[in-house]
Amino acid sequence: MDHVSAAWLTDAALAAGRQGSGNLLRVVLIVMVVGCVLTGWFLLRGYRRKDR
């Protein structure tokens, strides 16, 4: 079996560094934050007291 070098990994890392973070990462982070806020609101709204 031939030894596969890790040159493709370094090439991929260099290409990613040139491209920057990109729009996909921004969209994923925004959706994750909004999802966490909505999940927290949904879970915590059940703890509101009804007797006031």
Q: Rg of the Cα trace of the chain? A: 22
pLDDT of residue 1: 44
For residue 21, give the 3-state DSSP assignment: coil
User: DSSP secondary-structure letter at 6?
Assistant: T
Q: How much is the pTM?
A: 0.51
Query: Residue 3 is encoded by which pair of tokens?
Result: 């030894």
Mapped onto helix, strand or coil, the DSSP state of residue 30 is helix
Distance of alpha carbon 37 from alpha carbon 42, whole angstroms: 9
User: CB count, 10 Å around CB of 10?
Assistant: 10
Q: Is the pLDDT of residue 29 over 80?
A: yes
The ranges assigned to domains in the chain are 22-52
Average pLDDT over residues 8-19: 66
